[in-house]
């Protein structure tokens, strides 16, 4: 019989900083090392900048200075500055802030008084200075604990607040800030706050036309079917166009927050577009045909929004606020009126939309039969036992619905061959990590139509494993990790898989779900120490740390790494390289270059990027 040891001694009270440090995920989501845009270190930046945005919205400070290096951030706004007598409390006393009793902040994101306190508690160094009406107040902290504060001093600086912080390396292991993620974050702030000037490491980021600028920048290398439709109203703004790519692409925002996982507003927006277009043409168009190849952005402002997590990436609110219409009704009415009016006033645009819808309808009908047969084959393939070694959260899916929180933690490793998939399968976290095993090299699908996805067994089974046949809304795994050998064949398989995703599911890549697994090339050890090295440079550094002649092992394939060793490479110390598409990336152009005909230009690139290693391994660098 179990002993009843539950007593008063088991009840523990934590102060604010202890709780944040013990349970950081409650405040900033996953920790990570900065290799993915939703890692916690970027949430820390957001929490500080959100305060500067609130000042701008209130009419104070039209410029923000942001400086970054690999491990620190410095942010200076020119708002009113924190009241000098409350500087320390505002960054170190939970549930303290200036937004609780202000109508002007009812449509703000940060209303819980946690923001900068979490940044402070999770930083090894946090400094703040407030400049206000010719005076200044400074304070310095370590892990949320006050180290030093100044008396009130005279100041010649303009009003505003300066914050400097270094995330705690004990919590964010091996982290570094990535410029491209922060830059994308800042552009979103600019699009949602027209006229705000953000100066990032000397580069000015500013937008004059809001979501119109966003969609123009995001689609400037895409072939658009018609000019972007830009509509604005009170508490709502949207931009819409159609392209030629497969899939749907959306950017959604609530109160300035980038809701990367969508929510009630995005669902309402998509339904409203499909319904309005169908009603305008007086046709019973399939929703999928209206939304196929769409590129759109939507932003709304909600009173006291409710999000489904502390990181605020998915809106849960069903209403625009107390005594206000539902989100669905508000968005539906706006789209119905404004988009319908626009189409009546611009019949040439309406015809182009209709042409795109009819093309989607025709393409969907043409592959209907082969799609049906492919789905039957996928069922017979007994996916969960042969190709896919699933994770536990999906064992009962369906009928059990997986929570958004669990899905956000989930990963699918795509491997080549039985030995590699066997090692990863034995080493993985079976609760959240799944393994899909490829048989041979995938088909080079560049330039092909989506029909090939259903005709090719490997592609068909992969899309079913991911559940992306009809879009990425029900994507089963948040991270899709390509895990191939670090040799020429492995590189080729990697490129073939990326071609598949970019050709047919580009929104999967643009939404930040696809990664490359970085595994060690060498193991350097002696009797007392062991180092895993990811490059020639790391190998040389390890050799110098060991006395005598170390044993050096070169891993030629993932199958050579034992499950015991592999567990650390796909665990808390996992190294992932995101497949990141910046706004200048032209998918068609890059696929044609790497996967099209063997042009002289590509031959020169390959020759110029080949290295000959002592162990006779040829590595393609820079791809």
Element (H, E) at 569: helix 563-569
Which domains does the chain possess? 17-98+105-205 (3.30.565.10), 211-358 (3.30.230.10), 368-519+555-586 (3.40.50.670)
Alpha carbons 530 and 550: distance in angstroms, whole number: 9
Alpha carbons 241 and 133: distance in angstroms, whole number: 48
In this structure, what are the phi and psi dihedrals at residue 503, rounded to the nearest 5 degrees?
-75, -45
Alpha carbons 534 and 523: distance in angstroms, whole number: 9
pLDDT for residue 610: 58
Contact 521, 531 (CB under 8 A): no
Contact 123, 165 (CB under 8 A): yes
Contact 561, 575 (CB under 8 A): no
Element (H, E) at 507: helix 506-510
Contact 595, 495 (CB under 8 A): yes
Compute mean pLDDT per 10 residues along the chain, 623 residues long, and list them: 57 74 84 85 92 89 95 95 91 66 56 75 95 95 93 92 95 90 93 94 95 90 88 95 89 88 92 96 94 94 79 81 89 96 97 95 86 77 70 72 82 86 88 90 88 89 89 89 86 90 89 89 89 89 87 84 84 84 75 75 68 39 35
Question: By C-alpha distance, which of 514, 511, 547 is closest to 529?
Answer: 547
Does residue 222 sit in helix, strand or coil? coil
Q: What is the dihedral of CA 419, 422, 423, 428, to 10 degrees?
A: 160
Alpha carbons 305 and 111: distance in angstroms, whole number: 9
Residue 128 burial class via C-beta count within 10 angstroms: exposed 0-12, middle 13-18, buried 19 and up: buried
Residue 25, C-beta contacts closer than 8 angstroms, at least 6 positions apart: 31, 40
Indicate the DSSP class of residue 314.
S
pLDDT for residue 333: 96
Q: What is the pTM of this model?
A: 0.80
Alpha carbons 158 and 423: distance in angstroms, whole number: 59
**CA-based torsion, 167, 142, 44, 192: positive or negative:** negative
The number of CA neighbours under 13 Å toward the Cβ of 360 is 25
pLDDT for residue 479: 93
- Cβ density class 155-188: b for 16+ within 10 Å, e for less: beeebbbbbbbbbbeebbeebebbeebbbbbbbb
Question: By C-alpha distance, which of 263, 273, 265 is closest to 242?
Answer: 273
Segments in 80-160 forming alpha helices (H): 87-92, 115-121
Q: What would the two tokens of residue 188 be?
A: 């979103």
CB count within 10 Å of CB 23 equals: 10
Alpha carbons 152 and 135: distance in angstroms, whole number: 6
- Cβ density class 256-267: b for 16+ within 10 Å, e for less: bbbbbbbbbbbb
Indicate the DSSP class of residue 619.
E
Residue 467, C-beta contacts closer than 8 angstroms, at least 6 positions apart: 474, 475, 476
Alpha carbons 238 and 298: distance in angstroms, whole number: 4
Residue in the block written with tokens 């070169």: 554
Alpha carbons 381 and 465: distance in angstroms, whole number: 12
Q: What would the two tokens of residue 321 be?
A: 């606020």
DSSP assignment string, 207-250 = -SSTHHHHHHHHHTTS--SSPPEEEEETTEEEEEEE-SSSS-EE
Residue in the block written with tokens 């709304």: 300
Paired residues of 251 in beta bridges: 297
Most distant CA pair in the chain: distance in Å? 81
What angle do the packed helices 587-595 and 488-504 form, to 10 degrees? Answer: 150
């Amino acid at each position: 019989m179990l002993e009843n040891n539950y007593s008063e001694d088991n009840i523990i009270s934590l102060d604010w900083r202890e709780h944040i440090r013990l349970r950081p995920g409650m405040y900033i989501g996953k920790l990570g090392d900065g290799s993915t845009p939703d890692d916690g270190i970027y949430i820390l930046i957001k929490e500080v900048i959100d305060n500067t945005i609130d000042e701008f919205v209130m009419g104070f400070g039209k410029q923000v200075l942001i400086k970054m290096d690999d491990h620190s951030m410095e942010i200076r706004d020119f708002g009113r500055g924190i009241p000098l007598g409350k500087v320390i409390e505002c960054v170190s006393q939970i549930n303290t802030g200036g937004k609780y009793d202000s109508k002007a902040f009812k449509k703000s994101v940060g209303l819980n008084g946690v923001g900068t306190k979490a940044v402070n508690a999770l930083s090894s160094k946090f400094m703040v200075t407030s400049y206000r009406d010719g005076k200044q107040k400074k304070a310095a902290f370590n892990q949320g604990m006050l180290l030093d504060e100044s008396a009130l001093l005279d100041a010649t600086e303009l009003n505003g607040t300066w914050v400097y912080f270094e995330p705690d390396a004990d919590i964010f292991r091996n982290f570094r800030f990535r410029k491209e993620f922060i830059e994308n974050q800042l552009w979103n702030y600019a699009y949602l706050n027209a006229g705000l000037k953000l100066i990032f490491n000397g580069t000015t980021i500013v937008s004059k036309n809001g979501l119109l600028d966003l969609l123009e920048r995001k689609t400037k290398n895409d072939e658009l079917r018609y000019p972007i439709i830009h509509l604005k109203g009170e508490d709502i703004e949207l931009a819409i166009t159609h392209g030629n790519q497969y899939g749907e692409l959306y950017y959604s925002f609530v109160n300035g927050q980038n809701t990367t996982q969508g929510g009630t507003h995005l669902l309402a927006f998509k339904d409203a577009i499909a319904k309005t277009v169908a009603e305008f043409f007086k046709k019973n168009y399939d929703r999928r045909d209206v939304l196929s190849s769409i590129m759109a952005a939507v932003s709304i402002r909600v009173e006291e929004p409710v999000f489904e997590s502390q990181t605020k990436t998915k809106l849960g609110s069903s209403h625009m606020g107390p005594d206000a219409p539902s989100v669905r009704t508000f968005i539906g009415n706006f789209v119905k009126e404004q988009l319908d009016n626009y189409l009546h006033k611009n019949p040439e645009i309406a015809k182009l939309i209709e042409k795109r819808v009819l093309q989607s309808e025709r393409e969907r009908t043409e592959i209907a039969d082969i799609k049906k047969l492919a789905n039957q084959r996928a069922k017979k393939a007994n996916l969960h036992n042969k190709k896919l070694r699933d994770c536990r959260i999906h064992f009962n899916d369906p009928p059990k619905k997986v929570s958004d929180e669990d899905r956000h933690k989930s990963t699918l490793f795509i491997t080549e061959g039985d030995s590699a998939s066997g090692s990863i399968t034995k080493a993985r976290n079976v609760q959240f990590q799944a393994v899909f095993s490829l048989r041979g090299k995938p088909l080079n699908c560049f330039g092909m139509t989506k029909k090939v996805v259903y005709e090719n067994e490997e592609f068909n089974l992969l899309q079913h494993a991911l559940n992306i046949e009809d879009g990425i809304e029900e994507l089963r795994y948040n991270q899709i990790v390509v895990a191939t050998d670090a040799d020429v064949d492995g590189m080729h398989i990697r490129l073939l898989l990326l071609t598949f995703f970019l050709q047919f599911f580009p929104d999967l890549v643009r939404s930040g779900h696809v990664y490359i697994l970085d595994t060690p090339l060498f193991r350097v050890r002696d009797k007392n120490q062991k180092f895993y090295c990811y490059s020639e440079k790391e190998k040389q550094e390890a050799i110098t740390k060991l006395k005598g002649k170390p044993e050096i092992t070169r891993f030629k394939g993932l199958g050579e790494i034992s499950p015991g060793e592999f567990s650390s490479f796909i665990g808390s110390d996992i190294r992932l390289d995101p497949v990141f598409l910046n706004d200048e990336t032209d998918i068609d152009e890059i696929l044609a270059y790497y996967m099209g005909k063997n042009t002289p230009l590509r031959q020169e690139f390959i020759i110029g990027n080949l290295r000959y290693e002592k162990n006779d391994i040829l590595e393609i660098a820079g791809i």
